[in-house]
């Protein structure tokens, strides 16, 4: 497999992982069973909700030398094409409910927002965020669905396709110079100036509550997987994308809550050009990665760790690693073609980092031994997006997503 999919990977085993500890009670202030219950109740009431599929890739597992390989495919999530639909929109909904309570003294429910009962209040509210594409699309969709105004900031390297996808949900899209983290600061500055509400998927000192809601929305994805897997299918390993860490923290927290010390070994994978979590793990504390962070895995082009996510990942993750862009492109093509009888899967650039990381470990005997990954291992991957930039996907694969799916 290493000859078929060459991967330049670097792994770092986490020396402070609390492998034998139960889910710490202190972390319930970030992600909790109670918070998941609320997110589940709200999100499953949204129009169009359905659990996303969990694909079993037996052909790829055999070829790679694994016992089993599962791929949670988020490409169909609410028609937005990514898992981010669970986070940004949920945070918008929770923010509006809180503002309705503050301004009217009444307790609103999701049905009240969907029917426009409080439009006199929500019409006067503007939400905003910075994005590399998918989170902004979720916030814009949530604003349109629940009835408020939206302004989204994108940085210099965000593709026109992703910008247009956000604008289709009625948001005003503002392109900034610089990288993602600079667009985050611009969105925060303008929000403070105009009295807008920032709905960010990354937390920082003084800004914690909304990112908690974003991550709590993501935990529904992990909870769906827990329902889709039988005890015999329980994964031994999870390879998952990094970014600012929100999705990885949500998945880590849910499996830690459910299985404690018996939870799967978890590896967080990032682009080698935007590896803030990897470098923070090596440093033993959150650090900032500077530069343009230019990677094809646009959804993972982040230079600053979400502090709340880090509080969960630092004690909960077994290893951090980086992969190169070429490996991501190769993995996209691998899934589009299918291996050994597997059906084709449409996976976006940021969806395949976990697969690339897994294949990178399998190509390195030392890493395999450190992570106890081999013939008896059952690996779970999270396909975080589909073809969220259809034109870029066509350029990479050589055909569009519809043509890929038609080969099933």
Q: Alpha carbon of 250 to those of 232, 279, 402: distances in Å?
A: 23, 20, 31
Tell me if residue 58 is catalytic.
no
- Whether residue 132 lies in the annotated active site: yes
Q: How far apart are CA 113 and CA 137, in angstroms?
A: 19
For 43, residues 6+ apart whose C-beta sits below 8 A from its C-beta are: 49, 86, 90, 217, 220
Q: 54 vs 35, 131, 334, 383, 393, CA distance in Å?
A: 24, 27, 18, 10, 22
Residue from 343, 328, 345 nearest 396 by CA? 328
Stretch (H or E) spanning 39: helix 33-43
By the 8 A CB rule, do 23 and 36 touch? no
Cα–Cα distance between 151 and 159 in angstroms, integer? 17
Kind and range of the H or E element at 268? strand 265-271
Out of 84, 181, 212, 318, pick the active-site residue.
84
* CA–CA dist 127, 95 (Å, integer): 9
Provide the token pair at 270.
Answer: 């990032």
> Among residues 73, 132, 213, 223, which one is catalytic?
132
Specify burial of residue 216 (Cβ count, 10 A radius: 0-12, 13-18, 19+): buried
Question: What are the DSSP calls for 332-400, one per residue?
Answer: HHHHHH-STTPPP----GGGGHHHHHHHHHHT-HHHHHHHT-STT-EEEEEE-BS-SSHHHHHHHHSS-
Q: Which residues are catalytic?
A: 84, 132
């Amino acid at each position: 497999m290493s000859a078929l999919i060459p991967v330049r990977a670097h792994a770092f085993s986490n020396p402070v992982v609390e492998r034998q500890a139960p889910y710490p009670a202190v972390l319930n202030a970030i992600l909790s069973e109670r918070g998941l219950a609320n997110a589940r109740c709200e999100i499953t009431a949204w129009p169009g909700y359905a659990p996303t599929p969990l694909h079993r890739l037996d052909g790829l597992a055999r070829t790679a030398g694994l016992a089993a390989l599962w791929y949670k495919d988020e490409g169909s999530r609410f028609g937005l094409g990514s898992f981010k639909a669970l986070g940004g929109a949920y945070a918008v909904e929770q923010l509006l409910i809180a503002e309705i309570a503050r301004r009217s003294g009444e307790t609103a429910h999701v049905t009240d927002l969907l029917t426009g009962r409080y439009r006199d209040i929500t019409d006067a509210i503007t939400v905003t965020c910075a994005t590399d594409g998918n989170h902004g699309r979720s916030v814009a969709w949530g604003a349109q669905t629940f009835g408020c105004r939206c302004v989204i900031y994108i940085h210099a390297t965000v593709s026109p396709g992703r910008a247009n996808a956000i604008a289709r949900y009625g948001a005003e899209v503002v392109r900034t110079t610089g990288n993602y983290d600079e667009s985050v600061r611009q969105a925060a500055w303008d929000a403070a100036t105009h009295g807008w509400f920032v709905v960010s998927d990354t937390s920082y000192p003084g800004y914690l509550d909304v990112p908690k809601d974003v991550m709590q929305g993501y935990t529904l994805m992990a909870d769906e997987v827990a329902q889709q897997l039988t005890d015999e299918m329980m994964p031994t390993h999870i390879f998952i994308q990094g970014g600012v860490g929100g999705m990885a923290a949500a998945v880590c927290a849910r499996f830690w809550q459910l299985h404690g010390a018996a939870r799967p070994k978890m590896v967080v994978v990032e682009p080698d050009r935007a590896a803030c979590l990897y470098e923070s793990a090596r440093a033993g504390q959150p650090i900032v990665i500077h530069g343009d962070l230019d990677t094809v895995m646009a959804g993972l082009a982040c230079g600053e760790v979400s502090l709340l996510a880090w509080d969960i990942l630092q004690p909960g993750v077994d290893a951090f690693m980086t992969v190169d862009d070429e490996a991501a492109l190769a993995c996209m093509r691998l899934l589009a073609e299918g291996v050994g009888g597997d059906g084709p899967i449409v996976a976006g650039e940021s969806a395949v980092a976990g697969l690339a990381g897994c294949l990178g470990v399998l190509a390195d005997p030392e890493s395999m031994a450190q992570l106890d990954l081999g013939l008896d291992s059952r690996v779970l991957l999270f396909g975080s997006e589909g073809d969220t930039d259809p034109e870029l996907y066509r350029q990479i694969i050589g055909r569009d997503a519809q043509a890929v799916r038609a080969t099933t």
